[in-house]
Structure 1
Amino acid sequence: MLSFINNFNFVIFILFTVCYSYQIIYAFVALFKKPKELTPKKLHKYAVITAARNESAVIGELIKSIKNQKYPSELVDIFVIADNCTDNTAEVARKAGAIVYERNNKELVGKGYALDFIFKTIATQYSDANYEGYFIFDADNLLDENYIAEMNKMFDSGYRILTSYRNSKNYDSNWISAGYSLWFLREAKYLNNPRMLLNTSCAVSGTGFLVHSDIINKNEGWKYHLLTEDIEFSIDSVINGETIGYCGNAKIYDEQPCTFEQSWNQRLRWSKGFYQVFGKYGLSLVKTTFQKHCFSAYDMFMTITPAIFVTLTSILFNLSCLIYGIFSLTASPKIIPTTLGAILISFFNFYIVLYAFGLLTTITEWDQINSTPFKKILYTFTFPVFIFTYIPISIVALFKKIEWTPINHTVVKSIEEVR
């Protein structure tokens, strides 16, 4: 029995190590390999798209940061879709200089449906505008003044889908906002950046990305309507042979939740969305991995694979052995310390790995994080705790019916304040 417990935990450890060891290689690539400097041959014409629901507090600053871009204004049109709003989002956006459409549909609710609406509207009413690409932002975003110019360099080099460096407006609000922020900074620096450097595909993360008009036209709008439409779009693009690029010099800032209730609801939706994407595209990713020898498909498969199930299996197995050891008269007295030790070691190992990634990200992105030195260090210790809270969230997401709900944004800052 003791031998079986030890062997089981060893197999779980090896399984995780084998499946995710490539991300350690990613970290070394990010540290030691630098992207090439690009000079665009053409300044392309773009439309900026934002789906906004009751975002009157923040939409004005987003539009202001777009209008202040160091890129020819005649090549950038700003569209806002005020989606099922009950406030004056549309009025604020029009006053700030955006082209605004209002949508009221209580049946088809969610960002994906709003995007599909505005893309189809542009296709019929602005067909002569000849937009070559579409930027997609959330209403709480702020753009660095060189954002579009930097993305244009990568777009001009041939990438048809691009994502960017995602930073936060409110990193130091508390350990929750810092947890989000570190995760997105790590994703940009140590996942998407090395993917791009190794010529594999990146993944779009929620907001701050650019899509070629040919892809939108081919799809006849925006066809992604699962709870995590961003990762669904990424997965479908990889399966269809697209390589998503990354531009580290294009920086956006967005607002992170500060309350655990708001964070719980948002990540509950994300977890459910990942299950949906896994169910819909998991088999296709496996086929693409082996039939086309596509590492990007494997990478995306590992991104959406519910690895939490392996963790839960390990925890439940060891807890069962612990309970057996406590209540069974015939059990070996060594079962209790063995299983307790296995549980503690598992949590310790995960904590150390997560802390290491959080610390590495904090050190390398130190100047990009808008916070005090004390908080920067403090939140490296709470980062693993933030990730551990995904365990109960992932369990609840398995059984609970979840619908798309908006996140209330209240952090009103200008780009000058957060930069």
Structure 2
Amino acid sequence: MNQFISSFTFIFQISVFAITMYYLLLSLFGLYKKEDKGAENCAPKKTFALLVAAHNEEMVVGKIIESLKEIDYPKEMYDIFVIADNCDDSTASIANSYGVNVHERKVPDKRGKGYALEWMFDRIFKMDKKYDAIAIFDADNLISKNFLKEMNYKMQQGYKVVQGYIDSKNPNDSWITQSYSISFWTANRLFQLARANLGLSNQIGGTGFCMDTEILRKLGWGATCLTEDLEFTCKLVLNGHKVGWAHNAIVYDEKPLTLKQSWNQRKRWMQGFTDVSSRFFSKLLKKAVKDKSFTALDCALYTIQPFVTILIGLSAVLTMMQVNTKDGLNIFVINDLFNNVFGSVFGSIIWKTFSIIQFIFTPLIMLLENKLSKKMFITFGLYSLNVIILSYLYGGQPTFIEMLIGNIAYIGTFIVMIRMIGGKNPLKLFVWYLLYGIYTLTWIPITIQGIIDKDKKEWSHTKHIRQISIQDVE
């Protein structure tokens, strides 16, 4: 039995480690960012229909219209359309006051952004005026002035669909908005830019993306699940197209303020992911094998994120069970691999080095994206040495209780030092970054809920409490 447990957990842990290493290696290609100013010198040729999907968004719809009107692109080459979808507030009248095209939709039994977009696409196809591309936004977004220049440039390079950089317009509102912002900043750099550098397909992010009108007409939208962006990405890849990436075309998105709001939104994402993976994973895998397409394989792996999240969580639990049991449970853990290959001393050094790099990797990306100061990056670097310092103090491999007490004391020391030297704002940033770890852990129960409820299509609406203009975030 002991041998079976060891062998089974060996296969399981190595498999999870291999998936983790794939994403780690992929992310390394995002460290390089080419300075590309081609959009500034590219003549405006593409015409755009800008679609804003809105459901009871009277608080924010005016600000996105203002930011769209201020885009630095010939005004005669783009039009703004607001879809007032099943609204019972003043969204439509406010949008009308700005002189844009407002289309009111009343179909209560088919609520949701995917349905609203499909309805609006059909209307645009039938219009006398034709557009080369259609751009999609959420009502709480704000758009950078260079957005259409960047999209025009990328689409002239041959991309049929292009995703812009999704930033946050309220990163400092709470630890939840800060956590959201960190996850988006890192995803933009480590996965979106990395895929662009490797020539893979990027992922549509739900807002801030443009689609060639003809490719949309040809393939059909048909994406009405809870994650219509992922569904359409899979359709594109299956039909041999790649989603392009415009790192300099920025869309500022409003993040939920509370853990409850965040939980509901991320649960919806995981429900959609699970639904899409059940319908597209095998198709993408077949295409990857048949066409020898690494792009299709990468997209297939992306669709099964909910299951990968649970596997990583289970791997962590098994590791804690093994490490914190006096005589062990014959469970294989990854640091055993390092010890067996490199010896216990050198293997321990490699594992601790890996732990330090893993911790400071995200602050490094924030530094590269100009979201973190050099002083705070150094602070996080010094804090990451806790794995070495605590091991030295306790000797050998400290127990879970020793590590817990040691880390509490270590964090307390840093909090006092940062408050005395840096002040209130750096302290808040430091504490919130540590809470980002809790935010990350909540993905596990959220994902489990999402998988269980994958067939439920309840939509949760995030209520907005104030207005933010494009001048406030740029």
Tell me if both proteins adopt one fold, taking TM over 0.5 as the criterion. yes
Distance (whole Å) between structure 2 residues aligned to residue 300 and residue 354 of structure 1 = 24
Q: How many Å apart are 1:318 and its aligned residue?
A: 7.2
Shift of the 3–177 alpha-carbon distance from structure 1 to 2, 3 Å rule, reads farther
Counterpart of 2:432 in structure 1 is 379
Identify which of 376, 386, 393 aligns with 2:446. Answer: 393
Mapped to 2, the partners of 1:386 and 1:350 lie a distance apart of 22
Matches of 2:314 and 2:198 in 1, distance apart? 34
Alignment partner of 1:412: what SS? coil
Cα deviation per residue 1:106-164 (whole Å; 9 max; x = unaligned)? 1111100000111111222x2x3120000100000001111111221111111110001
| Residue 156 (1) aligns with residue 156 (2) | yes
Does 1:406 find its partner at 2:468? no
Partner of 1:223: 222
Instruction: Quote the sequence identity (%).
Output: 34
State how 1:354-369 maps to structure 2 within 5 Å. Answer: 355-367=359-371
- The aligned counterpart of 2:207 is 207
Deviations 1:375-398 (A, max 9, x none): 444433222221110111111223
Asked whether the 8 Å contact 2:225–2:457 carries over to 1, the reply is: no
Query: For 2:109, what is the secondary structure of its paired residue?
Result: coil
1:43 positional shift? 2.5
Q: Are the counterparts in 1 of residues 310 and 444 from structure 2 also a CA contact under 8 Å? A: no
Pairs within 5 Å for 1:32-43: 32-34=32-34, 36-38=36-38, 39-43=41-45
Deviation (angstroms), 1:372: 4.8
Partner of 1:142: 142
Amino acid at match of 1:309: I
Where do residues 176-215 of structure 1 align in structure 2 (5 Å cutoff)? 176-215=176-215
Which shifted more, 6-15 or 227-236? 6-15
1:82 is paired with a residue whose SS is strand
Higher Cα Rg: structure 1 or 2? 2
Following superposition, the deviation at residue 83 of structure 1 comes to 0.4
Q: Please say if 1:101 is aligned against 2:156.
A: no
Residues 11-44 of structure 1, C-alpha deviations (whole Å, 9 max, x = no match) = 3442233224343333332223515442424431
Matching residue's letter, 1:79:
F
CA change 1:181–1:316 in 2 (3 A) is closer
Q: For residues 80 and 350 of structure 1, what CA distance do their matches in structure 2 show?
A: 49
Query: Partner amino acid for 2:215?
Result: I
Check 1:167–1:59 CA distance in 2 against 1; reply closer, same or farther (3 A cut).
same
Q: 2:57 aligns with which of 52, 55, 58?
A: 55
Q: How much does 1:287 deviate?
A: 0.6
Q: 1:368 to 1:209 in 2, by over 3 A?
A: farther
Name 2:30's counterpart in structure 1. 30
Corresponding position of 1:278 = 277
Q: Which runs of 5+ in 1 are unaligned?
A: 326-332
Deviates more, 1:355-364 or 1:388-397: 355-364
Aligned length: 403
Any conservation in 2 of the 1:155–1:162 contact (CA below 8 Å)? yes
Instruction: Tell me if 1:133 matches 2:133.
Output: yes
**2:471 matched residue in structure 1:** 416
Read off the aligned partner of 1:311 and give its amino acid letter: I
Q: 1:165 is paired with a residue of what secondary structure?
A: strand
Distance across 2 between alignment mates of 1:399 and 1:183? 24
Q: 1:178 to 1:33 in 2, by over 3 A?
A: closer
Match in the other structure for 1:330 = none
Identify if the C-alpha distance between structure 1 residues 267 and 122 changes in structure 2 by more than 3 Å, giving closer, same or farther: same
Structure 1 residues 320, 42: CA separation in 2 closer, same or farther (over 3 Å shift)? closer
- How far apart, CA to CA, are the structure 2 residues paired with 1:261 and 1:378? 20
| Partner in structure 1 of residue 347 of structure 2 | none
Stretch moving more, 4-13 or 378-387:
4-13
> C-alpha distance in 2, partners of 1:321/1:249?
46
Partner Cα separation in structure 1 for residue 253 and residue 281 of structure 2: 30
- The question of whether the paired residues in 1 share the 8 Å contact of 2:47 and 2:133 is answered with yes
Using the size of structure 2 for normalisation, the TM-score is: 0.78
Distance 2:176 2:2 in 1: 39
> What's the counterpart of residue 308 of structure 2?
307
Q: 1:315 to 1:186 in 2, by over 3 A?
A: closer
Moved more, 178-187 or 280-289: 178-187
What is the TM-score with the length of structure 1 in the denominator?
0.87
List runs of 5+ in structure 2 lacking aligned partners. 337-351, 374-423
| Number of the residue aligned with 1:76 | 78
Describe the shift of the 1:10–1:376 C-alpha distance in structure 2 as closer, same or farther (beyond 3 A): farther
Any idea what SS the aligned residue of 1:247 has?
A: strand
1:364 alignment partner AA: L
- The one-letter amino acid of 1:310's match is L
Of residues 55-64 and 304-313 in structure 1, the stretch that sits farther from structure 2 once superposed is: 304-313
